[in-house]
């Protein structure tokens, strides 16, 4: 596969390490009263779609960016690649 | 032996004769021959024995789709099993042997299997060898393996090298027949970066095997001229002997170039083969078509082959299996073979056509009918024909060309999601469904079988691709070529045959297909697995279609209703060596050496691999005969005076930024926000699921600057995790990370004289006194008169200890300096074994304890997990399941009988309780002989271990028969109060 890195252009997937569902960005607040329940969902309940999937890839043999890659799990077509940091900020994460 | 079946003409070079041996017999061939064509020319039809029944077999084809003529090539370390004689290029001195026969090819003892064939029908494995169960492993399996063997390995190291390479192009063209050549010419002249790959050593595809002319030239001359023109274009890379093996995601192709398979020994410095990864914008598949046989009684005798192969051997290689041949066909193309062989002076005994109204000839007899049997034990002598007009006729012949029509070579179109579709007009599957990204198909691979159609469709496809990629393309001047329509009436098998072979490589008959259907294997995928049809190394290139057709017939379905099975990469069998490339032996992966490696080698150190690192394990001295003597000495001398160990391999991560402390507070389960500058703290990292991930220290060199250490094994994964937390979870934190593992050489200096030794190298303005630089202090210093260094007062051994770091290039100098300055203290260098002994004596956890199943609670660090902050893994570490009252706790063990060992991996059982998994109390993780205590010790996990100190428990290892009593003790065997490290 080829991942079109937003900063470095098309790179072979062999340069990357796969982590999993990009939903991992949405880590719950560990100090909230219902934290335990939220973390069990966060840690163990993932969607496993046959089709479009947003996932995290790490450019370990490259610039060490974490990327959010939108990939079709049936066809491996990649429709979007973004810096995970940009996605995280956009989706409300900060410090 | 003479080349008694060598014909006139052909594309071989008669001026160059090659001597070769087959099964010990010396023969002669010519440059341009394959092993198969040379053998045929020498009158050899019998080339192998079949897989299951050991039937005598000869070549069915003249290409890589060959199921039968599979031989062992070369001798010694270069011996190579399971090679197709039909693609092996002849070279002078080639040595080949037949396979799967004993004692000889002509007399094979196991051909008795053929007589017992009724026991070996489809599914015989599942039915015959069911009982008694114990017989399977000891008797049946070894027996079957021996009987069904293919070639044998030399069991020596391959002396040749294999490379991997990467190529990029606008257009990859797979197959250099008329369509591929026309396409390459069009795209090349339009300025595209083109790669033209073909598995053959002579480009041109069928043009080399046919007698058609292109314009006023012979087909093969036009091919050679076109290849020469392509080679002259700088933007075209012409790659003969290159098989495109697979079509992968996003336009990536894998290909193997056989650089030196046609030479006895590769040229100096050159690899035998290269595995190419080809990145393409577009690709064009022009892989042609493969002829398919017809199944009839005893259709597998040596001498029976595809009509197109018979024609190719005659036209290209000037060889024939016999001087008297017959043809069996269901289409017009079969008649071409008869005409070509007749023109070469071979006697055509008859053409048997299944169709009424077949073409007639004045040169030979044409009969309407079917072949119902053949004769000839080691080679064809006679066929029996059932005539359409009634009656039978026997015809003497030494070879038979069979044509059941042509299948477009769709393999590569299926490697992603392609599913071929049935085309009635040519009675064959053509590419369909979703093709691999960017792939176009042209020529015979697309079902366009005439040479004219191949040329024009290739050129048009290339022109379209050039336009798509923004290049102006003009159609090249293409020569006039034959444009015969396809005339075929499908005919798959002669009915009522007892043993009509469908898949010759796996010995599957038409009857096996029927049997599978009878036993309710109705899906085509089940048929394949039950009968093994198409599961041999040829992937059923010549057999799948007949199998499907027969299945459709008995199921009362159409062929498209039955569907097809999948073709998968690799297109042809591929040597493991080329997949490995250079990654073998010591080059399997990179070796990382520590800065003190050269010095350690000089000391005669014994090294151990730790991840990719080579670390000194111990330093044997003269007179020491066992590793234990060396290790005991290193431990005792370190605890008595001072020892030095290279700890460079531990991961080092530089953490900087105004939020560095806040960031580490998230990463570690214990608190870091209040760590003072100039101080170091032990930190435990959890995974988000609450399990311990790694441990190490974080030293605060400045308000906004920390140096974090990780274990050697987890250096990469911890860094990855920290980047995830930084970029994905807390993107607005002002914090930067970089791995500095290789930037700093780091040594542990441990023992009561550690301070005195360091004072000799640290520049005098730095105060190393216990007050000036207490336990867990850290700082940036200079040594040896101004060299910048970092000093950490941390201890893994439990002694007064420091870790000193200098830029890596000074590491070698520093170890030499320290060892020299340490002579007055009898300093020792110690390796990883002594390091391990000392940390077990001290009860420090390491990889064995942080084994991916243990929590902070298990490690006895439960209270370290801060409740006052949110850190990774803190919440889930509080789960009920990880906090049961009888949790495993890290404790120490010593043997009741001091002469006993305490082996790691053994399990703990309560005295008097049964020894079984239900009563398991825990296990030993790390064990060693303690030279300080004079007996073996261990640490490990015991249920509620912290409340069982003093209890005697049983330590058992059913695997080794170990069963002895041990006492539960504190894990801190040496200096439990920690007075030494604070001294």
- pLDDT, one tens digit per residue, over B569-619 is 999 999 999 999 999 988 888 999 999 999 999 999 999 999 899 999 999
Distance of CA B582 to the CA centre of its chain: 13
Burial, B653: exposed, middle or buried (Cβ in 10 Å; 0-12, 13-18, 19+)?
A: buried
| Residue partners of B494: CB distance under 8 A and separation at least 6 | B294, B295, B296, B297, B370, B371, B372, B500
Bridge partners (DSSP) listed for residue B407? B290
DSSP conformation class of B387: E
Cis peptide before B132 (omega within 30 of 0): yes
CB pair distance less than 8 Å for A89 and B417 = no
Return the percentage of chain B with pLDDT > 70, whole number.
97
In this prediction, residue B550 carries a pLDDT of: 93
May I ask the CATH class of domain B162-289+408-468?
Answer: alpha beta
Whose CA is closest to B686, among B412, B879, B469? Answer: B879
Beta strand segments in B657-776, E? 680-686, 692-702, 705-710, 736-739, 744-750
Task: Tell me the CATH number for domain B301-404.
Answer: 3.50.50.60
Interchain contact, B729 vs A64, CB within 8 Å: no
Reported as a pLDDT band with limits 50, 70 and 90, residue B136 is: low
Residues facing B57 on adjacent strands = B48
**CA B492 to CA B404: how far, in whole Å?**
7
- Give pLDDT tens digits for B662-703: 999 999 999 999 999 999 999 999 999 999 999 999 999 999
- The neighbouring-strand residues paired with B72 are B97
**Would strands B680-686 and B692-702 be described as parallel, antiparallel, or unpaired?**
antiparallel
* Alpha carbon distance B391, B327 (integer Å): 19
- The CA-CA-CA angle for residues B807, B811, B814, to 5°, reads 115
Mean pLDDT computed over every residue of chain B: 94
CATH superfamily of B884-983: Aminomethyltransferase beta-barrel domains (2.40.30.110)
Candidates A39, A65, A89; nearest CB to B732: A89
Q: Which residues of B758-770 are buried (b: 16+ CB within 10 A; e: fewer)?
A: beebbeeebebee
- CA-nearest of B540, B821, B816, B861 to B683 is B861
Instruction: Using CA atoms of B334, B336, B342, B345 in order, give the dihedral in degrees to the nearest 10.
Output: -110
Instruction: Look at residue A91 in the predicted model and tell me its pLDDT.
Output: 97
3-class secondary structure per residue, B782-833: EECCCEEEEEECCCCCCCCEEEEEEEHHHHHHHHHHHHHHHHHHCCEECCHH
Chain A interface includes B876 (CB < 8 A): yes
Residue B268 exposed, middle or buried by CB count within 10 Å (0-12, 13-18, 19+): exposed
Beta bridge partners of B737: B655
Domain ranges of chain B: 1-153, 162-289+408-468, 301-404, 491-555, 650-740, 884-983
DSSP state of B360: -
Are B270 and B260 within 8 A, CB to CB?
A: yes
Closest CA to B726 of B672, B670, B660: B660
Question: B981 to chain A nearest CA, in Å?
Answer: 36
Q: If you count them, how many residues does chain B have?
A: 983
The Cα of B657 is separated from the nearest Cα of chain A by a number of Å equal to 13
What does the pLDDT average to over B43-54?
Answer: 91
Mind listing the pLDDT tens digit for each residue in B238-275? 999 999 999 999 999 999 999 999 999 999 999 999 99
Quickly state the pLDDT bin for B358 (edges 50, 70, 90).
confident
- Closest-approach residue (CA) in chain A for B879: A36
The mean pLDDT value for A19-32 works out to 97
- The C-alpha angle B453, B454, B455, rounded to 5 degrees, equals 95
Check residue B132 and give its pLDDT: 63
Of B650, B614, B663, B946, the C-alpha closest to B805 is B650
Q: Is the pLDDT of residue B552 over 60?
A: yes
DSSP 8-state class, residue B946: G
Task: Using CA atoms of B295, B297, B299, B300 in order, give the dihedral in degrees to the nearest 10.
Answer: 120
From A94's Cα to the closest Cα of chain B, the distance in A is 5
For the cut 70, the answer to whether the pLDDT of residue B148 exceeds it is no
Return contacts of B344-349, CB within 8 angstroms, 24+ apart.
Answer: B344/B7, B344/B8, B344/B9, B344/B314, B344/B315, B344/B318, B344/B320, B345/B7, B345/B8, B346/B7, B346/B314, B346/B320, B346/B322, B347/B323, B349/B324, B349/B325, B349/B395, B349/B396, B349/B397
Output the pLDDT for position B153: 85
Q: What is the pLDDT of residues B846-888, one digit of tens each?
A: 999 999 999 999 999 999 999 999 999 999 999 999 998 899 9
For residue A63, is pLDDT > 80?
A: yes
Check if the beta carbon of residue B182 is closer than 8 Å to that of residue B229: no
3 state SS of B615: strand
CA–CA separation, B378 vs B380, rounded Å? 7
Secondary structure class of B233 (helix, strand, coil) = coil
**Rg of chain B, C-alpha, whole Å:** 37
> CA-based diameter of chain A, in Å?
44
Q: How many other CB atoms sit within 10 Å of the CB of residue B959? A: 9
Q: Which of B686, B613, B642, B737 is CA-nearest to residue B875?
A: B686
Q: How far apart are CA B548 and CA B545, in angstroms?
A: 5
Residue B133 has pLDDT above 70, yes or no: no
- pLDDT of the residue at B131: 59
A95 contacts chain B (CB < 8 A): yes
Among B63, B22, B56, residue whose Cα is nearest residue B39: B22
ipTM entry: 0.99
Q: Please enumerate in sequence order all residues whose Cβ is within 8 A of that of B402, keeping only pairs 6 or more positions apart, or say none.
A: B293, B294, B299, B304, B305, B306, B307, B327, B328, B329, B334
Rounded to whole angstroms, how far apart are CA atoms A44 and B309? 59
Spatial CB neighbours of B423, under 8 Å, sequence gap ≥ 6: B429, B430, B447
User: Given the structure tokens 């912290």, which residue do they identify?
Assistant: B946
* DSSP H stretches of helix in B808-936: 811-821, 832-842, 874-877
Confidence of residue B129 (pLDDT cuts 50, 70, 90): low
Beta bridge partners of B941: B890, B923
Check B731 against A27: CB less than 8 A apart: no
A35 CA: distance to closest CA in chain B (Å): 7
Domains B162-289+408-468 and B301-404 share a fold: yes
- The 10 Å Cβ neighbour count of residue A6 is 14
A58 closest CB neighbour out of B416, B723, B878 = B723
Positive or negative torsion for Cα B227, B228, B229, B231: positive
Domains of chain A, residue spans? 2-90
Please judge whether A76 and B250 are an interchain contact, meaning their C-beta atoms are less than 8 angstroms apart: yes
Please give the structure tokens belonging to residue B184.
């390459």
B695, B803, B881, B944, B978 from B975: Cα distances, Å: 22, 20, 34, 23, 5
Q: Measured between alpha carbons, how far apart are the two ends of chain B, in Å?
A: 91
Q: How confident is the model at residue B145 (pLDDT cuts 50, 70, 90)?
A: low
Task: Please tell me if residue B673 touches chain A, with a CB cutoff of 8 Å.
Answer: no
Indicate yes or no: CB of A95 within 8 angstroms of CB of B733.
Answer: yes
Q: Which fold has domain B1-153?
A: Ubiquitin-like (UB roll) (3.10.20)
**CATH-assigned architecture of domain B650-740:** 2-Layer Sandwich (3.30)
Is the CB of A36 less than 8 angstroms away from the CB of B879? yes
Write the pLDDT tens digit of every residue in B890-936: 999 999 999 999 999 999 999 999 999 999 999 999 999 999 999 99
- Indicate whether B187 pLDDT > 60: yes
Bridge partners, residue B686, by sequence = B692
Cβ density class B40-70: b for 16+ within 10 Å, e for less: bbbbbbbbbbbbbbbbbbbbbbbbbbbbbbb
Q: Inform me whether the pLDDT recorded for B563 exceeds 70.
A: yes
How far is B564 from B420, CA to CA, in rounded Å?
A: 8
Burial class (CB in 10 A: 0-12, 13-18, 19+), B245: buried
Burial of B362 (0-12, 13-18, 19+ CB in 10 A): exposed
Give the separation between CA B647 and CA B638, rounded to whole angstroms. 15
Name the burial class of residue B200, with classes exposed (0-12), middle (13-18) and buried (19+) by CB atoms within 10 angstroms of its CB. Answer: buried
What's the token pair of residue B373?
Answer: 């049997």
Tell me the nearest-neighbour CA distance from B65 into chain A, angstroms: 29
Which of B942, B936, B946 is CA-nearest to residue B894?
A: B936
Query: What is the predicted pLDDT for the residue at B114?
Result: 78
pLDDT for residue B154: 87
- Alpha carbon distance B93, B556 (integer Å): 54
B491-555 topology per CATH = Arc Repressor Mutant, subunit A (1.10.10)
Look up tokens 């193309």; give the residue. Answer: B333
CB within 8 Å of chain B, chain A residues 13-42: 13, 17, 19, 24-25, 27-31, 35-36, 39-40, 42
Size of interface A-B (CB pairs under 8 A): 84
Contact B716 A60 (CB under 8 A): yes
Q: Which tens digits make up the pLDDT trace of B617-649?
A: 999 999 999 999 999 999 999 999 999 999 999
**CATH assignment of A2-90, among 3.30.2270.10, 3.30.70.20, 3.40.50.300, 3.30.160.40:** 3.30.2270.10
């Amino acid at each position: 596969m080829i991942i079109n890195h937003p900063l470095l252009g098309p790179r072979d997937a062999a340069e990357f390490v796969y982590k999993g569902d990009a939903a991992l960005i949405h880590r719950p607040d560990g100090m909230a009263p219902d934290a335990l329940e939220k973390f069990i969902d966060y840690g163990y309940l993932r969607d496993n779609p046959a089709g479009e999937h947003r996932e995290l890839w790490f450019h370990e043999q490259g610039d060490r960016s974490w990327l959010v890659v939108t990939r079709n799990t049936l066809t491996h077509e990649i429709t979007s690649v973004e810096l995970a940091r940009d996605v995280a900020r956009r989706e409300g994460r900060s410090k | 032996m003479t080349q008694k079946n060598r014909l006139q003409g052909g594309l071989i070079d008669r001026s160059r004769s090659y001597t070769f041996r087959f099964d010990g017999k010396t023969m002669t061939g010519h440059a341009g021959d394959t092993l198969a064509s040379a053998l045929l020319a020498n009158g050899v039809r019998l080339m192998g024995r079949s897989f299951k029944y050991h039937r005598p077999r000869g070549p069915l084809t003249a290409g890589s789709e060959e199921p039968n003529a599979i031989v062992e090539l070369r001798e010694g370390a270069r011996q190579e099993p399971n090679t197709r004689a039909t693609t092996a290029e002849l070279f002078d001195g080639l040595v080949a042997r037949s396979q799967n026969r004993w004692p000889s090819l002509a007399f094979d003892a196991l051909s008795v299997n053929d007589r017992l064939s009724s026991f070996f029908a489809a599914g015989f494995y599942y039915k015959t060898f069911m009982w008694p169960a114990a017989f399977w492993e000891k008797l049946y399996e070894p027996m079957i393996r021996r009987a069904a063997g293919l070639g044998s390995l030399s069991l020596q190291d391959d002396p040749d090298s294999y490379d991997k390479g990467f190529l990029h192009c606008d257009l990859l063209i797979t197959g250099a027949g008329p369509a591929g050549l026309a396409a390459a010419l069009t795209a090349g002249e339009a300025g595209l970066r083109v790669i033209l790959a073909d598995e053959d050593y002579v480009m041109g595809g069928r043009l080399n095997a046919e007698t058609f002319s292109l314009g006023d030239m012979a087909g093969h001359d036009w091919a050679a001229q076109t290849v020469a023109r392509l080679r002259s274009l700088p933007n075209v890379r012409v790659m003969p002997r290159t098989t495109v093996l697979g079509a992968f995601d996003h336009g990536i192709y894998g290909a193997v170039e056989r650089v030196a398979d046609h030479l006895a020994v590769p040229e100096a410095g050159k690899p035998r083969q290269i595995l190419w990864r080809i990145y393409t914008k577009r690709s064009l598949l022009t892989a042609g078509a493969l002829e398919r046989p017809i199944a009839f009684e005893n259709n597998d005798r040596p001498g029976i082959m595809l009509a197109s192969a018979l024609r190719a051997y005659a036209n290209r290689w000037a060889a024939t299996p016999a001087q008297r041949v017959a043809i069996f066909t269901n289409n017009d193309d079969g008649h071409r073979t008869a005409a070509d062989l007749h023109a070469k002076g071979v006697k055509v005994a008859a053409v048997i056509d299944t169709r009424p109204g077949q073409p007639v000839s004045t040169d030979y007899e044409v009969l309407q009918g079917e072949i119902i049997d053949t004769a000839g034990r080691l080679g064809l002598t006679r066929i029996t024909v059932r005539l359409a007009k009634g009656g039978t006729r026997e015809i003497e012949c030494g070879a038979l060309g069979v044509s059941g029509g042509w299948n477009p070579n769709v393999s590569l179109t299926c490697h992603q999601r392609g599913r071929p579709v049935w085309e009635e007009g040519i009675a064959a599957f053509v590419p369909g469904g979703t093709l691999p990204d960017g792939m176009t198909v042209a020529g015979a691979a697309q079902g366009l079988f005439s040479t004219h159609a191949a040329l024009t469709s290739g050129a048009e496809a290339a022109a379209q691709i050039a336009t798509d990629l923004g290049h102006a393309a003009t159609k090249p001047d293409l020569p006039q070529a034959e444009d015969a329509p396809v005339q075929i009436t499908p005919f798959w098998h002669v009915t009522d045959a007892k043993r009509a072979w469908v898949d010759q490589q796996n010995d599957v008959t038409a009857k096996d297909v029927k049997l599978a259907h009878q036993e309710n294997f109705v899906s085509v995928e089940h048929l394949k697995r039950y009968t093994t049809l198409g599961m041999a190394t040829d992937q059923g290139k010549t057999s799948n279609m007949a199998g499907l057709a027969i299945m459709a017939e008995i199921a009362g379905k159409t062929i498209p209703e039955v569907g097809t099975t999948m073709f998968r990469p690799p297109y042809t069998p591929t040597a493991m060596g080329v997949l490995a490339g250079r990654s073998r032996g010591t080059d399997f992966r990179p070796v990382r050496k520590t800065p003190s490696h050269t010095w350690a080698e000089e000391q005669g150190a014994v090294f151990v691999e730790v991840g990719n690192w080579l670390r000194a394990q111990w330093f044997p001295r003269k007179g020491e005969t066992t590793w234990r003597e060396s290790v005991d000495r290193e431990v005792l001398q370190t605890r008595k005076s001072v020892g030095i160990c290279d700890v460079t391999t531990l991961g080092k991560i530089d953490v900087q930024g105004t939020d560095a402390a806040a960031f580490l507070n998230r990463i570690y389960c214990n608190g870091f926000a209040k760590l003072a500058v100039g101080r170091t703290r032990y930190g435990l990292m959890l995974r988000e699921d609450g399990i311990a991930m790694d441990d190490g220290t974080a030293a605060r060199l400045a308000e906004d600057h920390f140096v974090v250490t990780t274990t050697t094994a987890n250096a990469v994964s911890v860094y990855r995790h920290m980047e995830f937390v930084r970029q994905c979870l807390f993107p607005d934190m002002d914090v930067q990370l970089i791995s500095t593992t290789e930037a700093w050489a780091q040594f542990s200096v441990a023992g009561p004289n550690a301070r005195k030794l360091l004072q000799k190298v640290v520049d005098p303005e730095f105060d190393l006194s216990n007050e000036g630089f207490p336990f867990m202090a850290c700082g940036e210093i200079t040594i040896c008169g101004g060299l910048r260094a970092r000093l950490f007062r941390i201890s893994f051994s439990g002694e007064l200890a420091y870790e000193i770091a200098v830029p890596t290039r000074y590491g070698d100098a520093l170890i030499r300096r320290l060892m020299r300055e340490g002579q007055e203290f009898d300093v020792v260098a110690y390796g990883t074994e002594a390091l391990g002994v000392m940390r077990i004596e001290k009860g420090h956890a390491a990889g064995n304890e942080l084994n991916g199943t243990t929590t902070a609670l298990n490690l006895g660090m439960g209270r370290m997990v801060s409740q006052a902050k949110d850190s990774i893994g803190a919440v889930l570490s509080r789960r009920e399941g990880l906090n049961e009252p009888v949790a495993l706790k890290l404790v120490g063990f010593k043997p009741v009988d001091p002469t006993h060992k305490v082996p790691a991996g053994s399990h703990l059982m309560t005295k008097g309780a049964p020894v079984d998994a239900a009563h398991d109390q825990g296990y030993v993780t790390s064990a060693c002989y303690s030279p300080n205590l004079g007996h073996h010790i261990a640490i490990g996990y015991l249920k509620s271990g912290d409340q069982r100190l003093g209890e005697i428990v049983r330590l058992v290892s059913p695997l080794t028969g170990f069963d002895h009593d041990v006492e539960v003790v504190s894990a801190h065997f040496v200096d439990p109060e920690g007075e030494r490290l604070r001294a």
